[in-house]
Amino acid sequence: MKEHATKAAAFIKDEARTDWHDESLWFVRSRRDKAAHGIPEWEQLRELASQIKDHTLSHLDEYLEAFEAKAIENGVTVHWAADAAAHNRIVHGILQEHNARRIVKSKSMLTEECGLNEYLEAQGIEVVDTDLGERIIQLKEEPPSHIVMPAIHLKKEEVGELFHQKLQTRKGATDPQYLTEAARQHLRQSFLEADAAITGVNFAIAETGGVVVCTNEGNADMGTHLAPLQIHCMGIEKILPKAEHLGVFTRLLARSATGQPSTIFTSHHHKAKDGGAMHIVIVDNGRTTQLGRPDFRNSLKCIRCGACMNTCPIYRRSGGHSYDSTVPGPIGSILTPGIDLKKYSGLPFASTLCGSCSDVCPVKIDIHEQLYKWRQIIAEEGLLPTAKKQSMVMAGKVLSRPGWYKAAGKSARWVTRWLPRPLIYTPLNTWGKARELPEAPKESFQEWYRKNRSAS
Amino acid sequence: MKIALFIPCYIDQFYPQVGIATLELLESLGCTVHFPEGQTCCGQPMANTGCERDAIPTYEHYVETFSSYDYVVTPSGSCAYHVRKHYDIIEQTPEVQHLRQRTLDLSEFLLDVLEVEQLNARFPAKVGLHQSCHGLRGLRLGPGSERNLDAPSALHTLLSMVDGVEIAELARADECCGFGGTFAINEPDISAKMGKDRIADHARAGVEVITAGDMSCLMHLEGILRRQGSPIQVKHIAEILNSKA
Amino acid sequence: MSKAHIIKAIQAVRPDPCPLPVVPDFEAGDRPVREVFGSVAAQSGSRVVRAEDFVGLATAVRTIYHKEIKIATPLRAIQSDIDLQQASPADLNGIDVAVLPAQLGVAENGAVWVTEADCVHRVLPFITQHLVLVLPEDRIVRNMHEAYAQIKIDDTGFGVFIAGPSKTADIEQSLVIGAQGARSLTIILT
C-alpha cells in the first residue's frame, strides 16, 4: 500500500536528479501543448477519438471477427491468446515452426506485460530489443520507466558507461549522437541476421485486416522487412473499424506523445513480403474483465501515448519505477488494479486527483475519476491500512455531528496553539516533516459569526 | 434570493478571516447572506480516501443544512466540486439535485449569478495566481493549459478588477501544488516537493502574495513558506477581492 | 479454442451499442498546402526541393548528395547502381541513396505515402543511408483525413507514411537524426 510513497521518497532524495527528471518530462509536455494548440479542431478530435473507441468497444466481438476474416484472406495467420502464458506459448510455437533463434523486437508494451523476453530467453532464444531506449534498458537489465521513452530515467553518462561496457564505445563518451551511432551499427548487424521480427501494434483495422505500427527510429520496419518471419502482437482493444479512422488517431498520437506532428514512420502491414510469413497474435490477458467493469472499461481506449505520464506532477517527481508496474503513471494506476487489486492497491492513491491526466488524454479517458473510483473499491475490499480506515470512520462521525465537530475543532486549535513544538512535530506527523501547521486562530469563523452577526 | 454561506471545516477552524472576507464581500455587493448554524463539511476528506460510505451521513447533514436556500456559496472550488460531482451516491431527491446545481464557488457566484463587472477593491501587490485543480479542471473555472480552448479564467477576471494588483506570469500556469487532501499525509515527500517547486516558480516571478480559490492549497504552500522563512504571503482570493487598503 | 473463449467473454460484458461518429470536414486554413507542407517537413528535418530548380532528377540527387554515391532506384530517369529486381534485401545494406517515387504528401505533418510497389523491396526506404522521395506537387493534401480518403491502405501488402529522417531522443531527450533508418530525407517535388 505504501510502496509508491516509499519508492518515491527514495527517488526524491536526490533533489537535483528529481528536478532534471521533472524538467525533461515537462519539456515533452510543453511540446505537446504547442502541437495540440496548433490544431484548431484539437478538442473535437479528442471527442471523435473517444466516440470511435466507445463504438468499437461496444461492437468489439464483431470487429475482431471481421478483422480476423480479412487478415486470413490476406494470407496472414491469426492466433488468439486468452492470457500472457498463452501468448508466450503461441509466439514460441511460431518461432519453433520457422526454426527462428535470433529475434529482433520493436517496442511493444503488450509483450512487456506478458514477459515475453524472459520466456523466450529461457527457451534459448535470443531477443534483441531494437528501439534505442528499449535496447538501453535491456542491456542494463531494467524494466522501462516510461511507455514511450523507456530510458528517460537515465543520464547520458550512465548510458555512456553502459555502452562502454557492452558495446565497447570510448570510455567516458557521453555524446548522444556518438552513442546513438554506436547503437545503430550494433543493431544493424542484428537486423541483418534476424530470423524473425516481433512488433507491437498501434492500430488494427477491421475493414482491411491490417495492422499499423508507428515508430520514429524505423526499427520496426528494419526488423519486419529483413527477417523472413514477422509477428505482430496486439491487445484486443487495438481495433479500429475503418482506415478512415486512422486519420483521427494518427493526428492525435504523435502530437500527444512527443509534440511531433506525426511519428516518422506510420507503417501499414497487410500481407507478408514475397517469400515471407506474417502472423498476428490477438491477446486478451484481462482486457475482457476490464471491459466488464462499466466504471473502468474506458481505460481500454488508451493508445499508449504517454501524455498522462509527462503531465503527471507525481510521475515526474517519482520516476516510472516507483509504480512497479509495466505501465506506470496515471494510466498504469487505473489499469493495474484491475489485474491485481491487492498488489497495486497503493497506486490509485499516488495522485492528488488534479485531473491534468484526463485533460491531456487524446481519447478522453477520465483517468482521475477512475482513480477516485478505485479508491472506493480498495476501501470496500478492506485493503486500506487499518489506521487510515479508522481515522476516516471517525472523521465521518465527527463531521456529521455539529456538536462533536465543534468540540473537535476547538481541541485541534488548542493543540496547535499551546502544545510545545516537539510534541506536535513528531515523526508521526508527516505533514510537519517539511511544512508548518497552520497557526491556529483564537476563534473559529463560527464563533466570530455568532459574536458579530447573529445578534443583529 | 436566499443565499447561504458554506464555510468549509478547515477554513472555519484555521482561516476564519477567509470566511469573514467572503461574507463581507457578498454583503458589500448587496447580498443578504445567511450562515446556517451547525454546518460542518462536504465530506470530501473521507471520500477521497476511498471511504465514500463513511461520508454519507456528512452528505446528508449538508443537504439537511442547506436545502432551503436558493444558492450555497463557498470560498472553495474543491468543496463545491465535491458536492456537485460526488453527491451522486446518495438518493437523488429534489433537494439533493437542487444542491448539486446550486452549490457554487465564490468566483462562479460573483461572475455568473451577480454578474459582477467591477469591484471597489484595492490591493497593491504583485500577485501569483495558483489555479487550484478542482476549481480549474473540476468546475472549469478556466480553460486549463492542457486544452485547446479559448475561454476566460474566472479568477483572472476577478483579480483584474482589483486596483493595484499585478498578476505575475508563471512558467507553469496551472501545475498542482501537491496538497491533494490525505495525499499530503500519505506521500509527504512528493507532496512537499511539489509545493516547493510551485513556490520557486512564484518566487522567480517576483510574487509577493500567492492567491488561490482554495485555502487548502494555500495552507500547504504556507506551511512550506513558513518553514523556509520566506517573506511570500498567502491570501485567499476573497481576501484580495475584499481589500480596501 | 481461445478465440471462442475470448469472443464469448466479450459478448458477456459488451457495453450497449454506441454510435459511430462521422468525421467532419475540418475548416481549411488560408495557407496553400504546398507552402504548409514545405515548412512542416523542414521542421521535421526533411529537405524539400523542386525538381525544376535542377536539370533533371539525376542532377538533383547528385548535386544534393555526393557524386560518388551508390544509388538504388526503380526510376528510369536515374541510373541505378544496383539491379533492384535481382538484389537480396541484405545487398541493399550498402546503398547510400535510394530514390523512390511517392504517392501522396500531407501538408499538416510533412508525411509522404510510399507503397511496396514504389520501393520494390519493402526495406529499401529504411535500410538506405539516405532517402529521396519524388512527389508530384499536385499530390499534396491538407491533412490525414484527406490522405486516408485518397489512398487505399491495403492496395499493396505494405505502405508507409514517412515524415522525416529516422530519429530518436531516447538519450536524455537529445534529438539525434539517423537512428536505425535513413539518415536524411529529401523530398523532390515535381
- Taking CA–CA distances from A282, the nearest residue in chain C reads C3
Same domain, yes or no, for B47 and B73?
A: yes
pLDDT of residue B146: 98
Q: Do A122 and A222 fall within a single domain?
A: yes
Q: What is the tally of structural domains in chain B?
A: 2
Q: What is the pLDDT of residues B162-194, one digit of tens each?
A: 999 999 999 999 999 999 999 999 999 999 999
Instruction: Give the domain-ending residue among B66, B82, B113.
Output: B113
Domain span holding position C116? 30-189
Distance between CA atoms of C21 and C105, rounded to whole angstroms? 26
pLDDT one-digit tens code per residue, A335-382: 999 999 999 999 999 999 999 999 999 999 999 999 999 999 999 999
Mean pLDDT score, A21-37: 97
| For residues A197-226, average pLDDT | 98
Partners of residue A434 in chain B, C-beta under 8 Å = 188-189, 192, 195-196, 223-224, 227
CB C101 within 8 A of CB C146: no
Report the residue from A48, A261, A270 with minimal CB separation from C157: A270
Which chain A residue's Cα is nearest to C183?
A217
Tell me: pLDDT of A455 over 60: no
Q: Tens digit of pLDDT for each residue in B95-104? A: 999 999 999 9
Instruction: Flag if B176 and A352 touch (Cβ within 8 Å).
Output: yes
Give me the domain span that covers residue A347.
3-7+295-380
- Rounded to a whole number of angstroms, the CA Rg of chain A reads 26
Amino acid identity, residue A218? G
Q: Which residues on C lie below 8 Å from A294 (Cβ)?
A: 15
Q: Answer yes or no: do A44 and C93 touch at CB < 8 A.
A: no
CB atoms A434 and B227 under 8 Å: yes
Q: Whole domain around residue B92: which residue ranges? A: 3-113
The reply to whether residue C20 touches residue A52, judged by beta carbons under 8 angstroms, is yes
Q: Which residues contact B193 (CB under 8 A, 6 or more apart)?
A: A12, A15, A18, A317, B178
CB nearest A438 (choices: B58, B178, B219): B219
Q: Tell me, yes or no, whether C48 lies in a domain.
A: yes
Q: Grid coordinates in use for B66?
A: 442547506
Q: A228 and A207, same structural domain?
A: yes
Q: Report how far residue B36's alpha carbon sits from residue B78's, in angstroms, rounded to the nearest whole number.
A: 20
Residue identified by cell 460510505 is: B53
Task: Please tell me which of the candidates A12, A375, A377 has its beta carbon nearest to residue B49.
Answer: A375
* CATH number for C60: 3.40.50.10420
The Cα–Cα gap between B148 and B159 comes to 23
pLDDT at C1: 65
Residue B8 shares a structural domain with residue B107: yes
SS3 call for A296: coil
Percent of chain A with pLDDT over 90: 88
Percentage of chain A modeled with pLDDT above 70? 99
Q: Does the pLDDT at position B156 exceed 60?
A: yes
> Which residue, A250, A285, A320, sits at the end of a domain?
A285
pLDDT per residue over C129-185, tens digit each? 999 999 999 999 999 999 999 999 999 999 999 999 999 999 999 999 999 999 999
Q: Is residue A24 part of a domain?
A: no
Asked whether the predicted pLDDT for residue C68 surpasses 90, the reply is no
Question: Which of B113, B148, B176 is the last residue before a domain boundary?
Answer: B113
pLDDT digits (tens, 9 = 90+) for A113-155: 999 999 999 999 999 999 999 999 999 999 999 999 999 999 9
Q: What is the DSSP letter of B138?
A: I
Contact B134, B176 (CB under 8 A): no
Query: Cβ contacts (< 8 Å) between B146 and chain A: which residues?
Result: 33, 36, 311, 356, 359-360
The residue among B113, B141, B158 that closes a domain is B113
Q: Which pLDDT score, from 0 to 100, does residue A124 have?
A: 95
- pLDDT of A456 higher than 70: no
Domain count, chain C: 1
Nearest to C18 among A58, A133, A258 (CB): A58
Q: Is the pLDDT of residue C39 over 70?
A: yes
ipTM for the whole complex: 0.97
Question: pLDDT tens, A431-447?
Answer: 998 999 998 899 999 99
Pair A255, A31: CB distance under 8 Å: no
Q: Is residue A386 part of a domain?
A: no
Nearest residue to B190 via CA among A178, A346, C78, A203: A346
Whether pLDDT at B70 is above 80: yes
Distance from CA of C172 to the nearest CA of A (A): 6
Distance CA B99, CA B103 (A): 5
Residues of A in contact with B193 (CB under 8 A): 12, 15, 18, 317
Assigned domain for A419 exists: yes
Min distance A382 CA to chain C CA atoms (Å): 26
Instruction: Report pLDDT for A428.
Output: 80
Query: Above 90 in pLDDT, residue A429?
Result: no
Does residue A230 belong to any structural domain of this protein? yes
In a domain? residue A392: no
* Interface check A8 vs B, CB under 8 A: yes
CATH number for B187:
3.40.50
Same-domain status, A186 and A315: no
Judged by 3 or more CB pairs under 8 A, whether B touches C is no
Looking at the 3D structure of chain A, how many domains does it have? 3
- A359 and A212 share one domain: no
Q: What are phi and psi of A174, to 5 degrees?
A: -130, 0
Q: Which residues of A touch C176 (CB under 8 A)?
A: 176-177, 180
Residue of higher predicted confidence among A314 and C55: A314
Whether A202 contacts A237, CB under 8 Å: no
Average pLDDT, chain A: 95
pLDDT of residue A448: 95
Q: Which residues of A touch C122 (CB under 8 A)?
A: 221, 224-225, 273
pLDDT greater than 80 at residue C190: yes
- Min distance C52 CA to chain A CA atoms (Å): 27
Average of pLDDT values for A205-225? Answer: 98
C-alpha angle with apex A127: A121 to A133, nearest 5 degrees? 125
Let me know: does B235 contact B15? Beta carbons within 8 Å: no
CA distance B187 to chain A (A): 5
- Burial zone of A454 (CB within 10 Å; 0-12 exposed, 13-18 middle, 19+ buried): exposed
Smallest CA–CA distance, residue A351 to chain B, in Å, is: 7
Q: What cell does A410 get?
A: 476547538
User: What's the average model confidence in pLDDT over A375-403?
Assistant: 91
Based on the fold, state whether residues A335 and A192 are members of the same structural domain.
Answer: no
**Residue A245 with chain C: CB contacts under 8 Å:** 23
Q: Mean pLDDT over residues A408-423, rounded?
A: 83
B63-67, B111-115, C51-55: which has the minimum mean pLDDT? C51-55
Size of interface A-B (CB pairs under 8 A): 234
Q: What is the pLDDT of residue A413?
A: 85
Are B and A close enough to touch, i.e. 3+ CB pairs under 8 angstroms? Answer: yes
